[in-house]
Amino acid sequence: MPDLMQTDDLTPRVLRIIAETQRKDPSQVTIDSSFEELGIDSMDGINIIFALENEFNINVPDDDVKSIRSVRDVVEGVIRLVELSKAVGGAQSGAPGESAPAAS
Amino acid sequence: MRRVVVSGIGVICGLGRNREEFQAGLREGRCGIGPITTTDCLDLRFRNGAEVKCFDPNDHFSPKEADMIDRFAQFALVAAREAVLQSGIEWTRDLRENAAIVTGSCVGGQSTENQGFWDVYKMGKPRVHPMTIPKTMANAGASAISQEFGITGPAFTISTACSSSAHAIGQAFSMVRSGMSDVAITGGSEAPFSYGILKAWEAMRVISPTLCRPFSKDRNGMILGEGAAMLVIESLDHALARGAKPVAEIAGFGMSSDAHHITQPSAEGAAKAVRMALKDAGIGPGEIGYINAHGTGTTVNDTTETCALHLAFGDHARRLAISSTKAMHGHTLGAAGAIESAATILALSTGILPPTIHFNERDPECDLDYIPNCPRRADIEYALSNSFAFGGLNAVLALRRI
């Protein structure tokens, strides 16, 4: 699991993941960028959240996703969820397919 | 061109295991949605779906027959048998050679595929079941129907996500109208409840954690459903010659593609399909009395569809009675166009319009008459059934009371 102790360090990682998933030059993505400026639509947003969930081992609730409009919203949301995850004693589980049997 | 009528309807879905139960459910505004039981959903963000209740393949098939086809193809065959029975068709040799079968399915027998992948990837088994390929193929329903009735005419399957079976019916309609076939069995089926697919829907964040509330301000997503509907359609002359009693006419069909976005709908694209259906039927916007909406219950679909109806109908939009029956039978994906066409035909023939249930609050962006919560009596001649798929592929059927 990645070291999540320093939440200050999360910002560049979030920016990098947004740039990677959107196939953009990292210099284009700043903390002050809006999704609109970056041409990020709702499906792109969901793809970004998916990558962040994997990177930080967090689960982002559906309702949170709807309110995200900017890079800052994403960074703040990730920091909040990582802090929460630490507070409840480690990352949330949820490795897909570990517990559920296939349909009969 | 020949007039084309519907002479038989078969339905199996979360709202009813046959046409009669389905019709009663629509009339009562009953909800066919509940906790998903056939798949373990413990780590999903949603629990509810519209499953076919108490479906036992042994009630419909010999054990050997049931082993050969996936649940989605079983639904197709159950619905086709009911439609053929109602139509009263007698399969002469000529008719078997001439009849067409056009079905729709979005994901085909994916629960069979899911099981095979589970076996090899998760369980480490060295082999998957040898029927995995033929049970998974999306045309398995069409093939099963052809074998059942000995039909040797054109038979194929259309897969256009949530428009699959509307496109299938539209295609069969064109084939009968042109004279290529006198009779067709057409519709769609789907059985999308398996763990992998449900995880994929969860990832898209469009599934409601509660219920499907189309056009209501507090709507929060769609609910998946399974099932099938099949229609027997034929030329009016063919129906009259054999003394059949048609239940409705297919008046026209309109299609369009958004050329816009892989998941976000376009009001202009949807409006175009509506206009094309009206043009094909040779009627004006003012002649439509009821619309069975695509109405998925997602924020974006319902506002976009409302906008599309304003674009296509102008002032008449406010006089339309509109409902989304997905609140009752869920979004059955590749079966949706067929199940909802069946609901539309039943609305025309009974004079009872099905309501949009679970409607709590008006949304300023959804400002039309959605028949909230209570069914309504109305004498209507023409109705539309809307289907708008991911990928921006739109299909609208214009149906007429007989």
Reported as a single tens digit per residue, the pLDDT across B343-370 is: 999 999 999 999 999 999 999 999 999 9
Residue B397 and residue B341 in contact, taking contact as beta carbons nearer than 8 Å: yes
Q: Do A99 and B42 touch (CB under 8 A)?
A: yes
Residues in chain A closer than 8 A to B196 (CB atoms): 97
Q: How confident is the model at residue B29 (pLDDT cuts 50, 70, 90)?
A: very high
Domain count within chain A: 1
Judge whether B311 and B267 are in contact, CB under 8 Å. Answer: yes
Give tens-digit pLDDT for A17-31.
Answer: 999 999 999 999 999
Q: What is the pTM of this model?
A: 0.93
pLDDT at A66: 83
The closest of B215, B208, B220 to B356, measured between CA atoms, is: B215
CATH of the domain at B281: 3.40.47.10
CA distance B16 to B25: 7
Name the minimum distance, in Å, from the CA of A25 to any CA of chain B.
Answer: 23
| Per-residue confidence (pLDDT) for residue A8, from 0 to 100 | 65
Residue A64 domain-assigned (yes or no): yes
Q: Which residues fall within 8 angstroms of residue B78, CB to CB, at 6 or more apart?
A: B10, B12, B60, B228
The interface residues of chain A toward chain B in range 70-99, judged by CB-CB distance below 8 A, are 94, 96-97, 99
pLDDT the model gives residue A104: 37
CATH for A15: 1.10.1200.10
Same domain, B265 and B216: no
* β-bridge pairing B227-235 and B382-389: unpaired
CA–CA separation, B221 and B109 (whole Å): 25
Q: B272 with B126, same domain? A: no
- Asked whether the beta carbons of residue B43 and residue A101 sit closer than 8 angstroms, the reply is no
Residue among A62, A66, A103 whose CB faces B45 most closely: A62
Q: B237 and B257, same structural domain?
A: no
For the segment B285-310, the average pLDDT, to the nearest whole number, is 98
pLDDT digits (tens, 9 = 90+) for B315-349: 999 999 999 999 999 999 999 999 999 999 999 99
Which domain-ending residue is among B216, B241, B266?
Answer: B241
Mean pLDDT for B11-24 is 98
B246: in domain:
no
The sign of the dihedral angle between the CA atoms of B47, B50, B54, B55 is: negative
A92, closest residue in chain B (CA to CA): B43
In 3D space, the residue among B12, B43, B152, B169 whose CA is nearest the CA of residue B91 turns out to be B152
Q: Which two tokens stand for residue B190?
A: 């789907």
Domain membership flag for residue A81: yes
Q: How confident is the model at residue B286 (pLDDT cuts 50, 70, 90)?
A: very high
What are the C-alpha distances in Å from B163 to residues A76, B278, B335, B339, B385? Answer: 39, 18, 8, 11, 11
- How far is it, in rounded angstroms, from Cα B162 to Cα A61? 26
> Are both B220 and B124 inside the same structural domain?
yes
Question: Cα B161 to the chain's mean position, in Å?
Answer: 11
B72 domain-assigned: yes
Q: How far apart are CA B340 and CA B317, in angstroms?
A: 20
Euclidean distance between CA atoms B167 and B156, whole angstroms: 12
- Asked if the structure places residue B388 within a domain, the reply is yes
pLDDT recorded at residue A88: 83
Per-residue pLDDT averaged across B198-214, rounded? 97
Q: What are phi and psi of B315, to 5 degrees?
A: -60, -30
The answer to whether position A103 is within a domain reads no
Active site residue B310: no
Instruction: Note whether residue B99 is domain-resident.
Output: yes
Q: Which residues of B touch A99 (CB under 8 A)?
A: 40, 42-43
pLDDT digits (tens, 9 = 90+) for B36-59: 999 999 899 999 999 999 999 999
Q: Which tokens is B197 given?
A: 């697919």
Indicate yes or no: CB of A46 within 8 angstroms of CB of B205. Answer: yes
Contacts of B201 in chain A (CB under 8 A): none
Give tens-digit pLDDT for B59-72: 999 999 999 999 99
Alpha carbon B254 to its chain centroid, in Å, reads 16
User: Residues of A numbered 46-75 whose beta carbons fall under 8 angstroms of chain B's beta carbons: which are they?
Assistant: 46, 50, 61-62, 65-66
Mean pLDDT of B144-165: 98
**Cα B292 from Cα B326, distance rounded (Å):** 10
Question: Cβ of A103 and B193 within 8 Å?
Answer: yes
From B213, B150, B161, select the one nearest B185 (Cα to Cα).
B150
Q: What is the DSSP string of B136-149?
A: HSTTHHHHHHHHHH
Q: What is the mean pLDDT of residues A42-67?
A: 92
Average pLDDT over residues B209-230: 98
Residue B313 reports pLDDT greater than 60: yes
What confidence score (pLDDT) does residue A9 get? Answer: 83
Q: For B72-83, how does the pLDDT look when each residue is reduced to its tens digit (9 = 90+)?
A: 999 999 999 999
Residue B35 sits in the same domain as residue B137: yes
Quote the CA–CA distance of B162 and B167 in Å, as a whole number: 10
pLDDT of residue A64: 86
Active site residue B331: yes
Of the pLDDT bands very low, low, confident and very high (cuts 50, 70, 90), residue A90 is low
Claim to verify: residue B14 and residue B159 sit in the same structural domain = yes
Check the CA dihedral A76-A77-A81-A82 and report its sign.
Answer: negative
Task: For residues B58 and B152, state if they share a domain.
Answer: yes
Same domain, B61 and B197: yes
Helix, strand, coil distribution of chain B in percent, nearest 5: 40, 25, 35
Identify whether the C-beta of residue A101 lies closer than 8 Å to the C-beta of residue B40.
yes
Distance CA B3, CA B339 (A): 22
**Given B215, B241, B267, which residue is the final one in a domain?**
B241
Residue A100 has pLDDT above 70, yes or no: no
Which of B42, B111, B263 is the closest to A100 by Cβ? B42
Q: Domain count of chain B? A: 2
Counting runs of H as helices and runs of E as strands, what totals does chain B give?
Answer: 14, 14
Q: What is the distance in angstroms between the Cα of B54 and the nearest Cα belonging to chain A?
A: 14
pLDDT band at residue A99 using 50, 70 and 90 as cut-offs: very low
Q: Report the DSSP pairing between strands B183-190 and B100-104.
A: parallel
The confidence score (pLDDT) of residue B42 equals 86
Which residues make Cβ contacts (< 8 Å) with residue B336, sequence separation at least 6?
B162, B165, B166, B188, B190, B294, B326, B387
Same domain, B237 and B268: no
User: Which pLDDT score, from 0 to 100, does residue A6 have?
Assistant: 56
Residue A92 has pLDDT above 70, yes or no: no
Do the chains contact at B195 and A43, CB–CB below 8 Å? no
Domain that holds residue A39: 7-87
Instruction: Say yes or no: ipTM exceeds 0.90.
Output: no
- Residues B258, B397, single domain; the answer is yes
Mean pLDDT for all residues in chain B? 97
Give the rounded percent of residues in chain B with a pLDDT score beyond 90.
Answer: 99
Per-residue pLDDT tens digits for B84-100:
999 999 999 999 999 99
Shortest CA distance to A69 belongs to which of A102, A98, A36, A23?
A36
Residues of chain A in contact with residue B299, where contact means CB-CB under 8 angstroms, are 66
Report the pLDDT averaged over residues B12-21. Answer: 98
Same domain (yes/no): B381, B274: yes
Given a contact cutoff of 8 angstroms between Cβ atoms, the answer to whether B87 and B172 are in contact is no
User: Tens digit of pLDDT for each residue in A78-88?
Assistant: 999 999 988 88
Q: What pLDDT sits at residue A96?
A: 39
Residues forming beta bridges with residue B400, ordered by sequence position: B249, B382
Per DSSP (E only), the strands in B310-356 are 321-323, 352-353
- Give the pLDDT confidence score for residue A7 in this predicted structure: 59
| Residues B131 and B153 occupy one common structural domain | yes
Q: Is residue A53 part of a domain?
A: yes
Residue B259, domain extent: 251-401
The SS3 of residue B291 is: strand
Tokens representing residue B296 in the block: 């998925």
Single residue among B241, B268, B285 that ends a domain in this structure: B241
Q: In the prediction, which pLDDT does B209 show?
A: 97
Closest chain A residue to the Cα of B111, Cα to Cα: A103
- DSSP tag of B42: T
Q: B254-267, pLDDT tens digit by residue?
A: 999 999 999 999 99
Q: Which one of A50, A61, A103 has the shortest CB-CB distance to B38?
A: A103
The reply to whether A78 falls in a domain is: yes
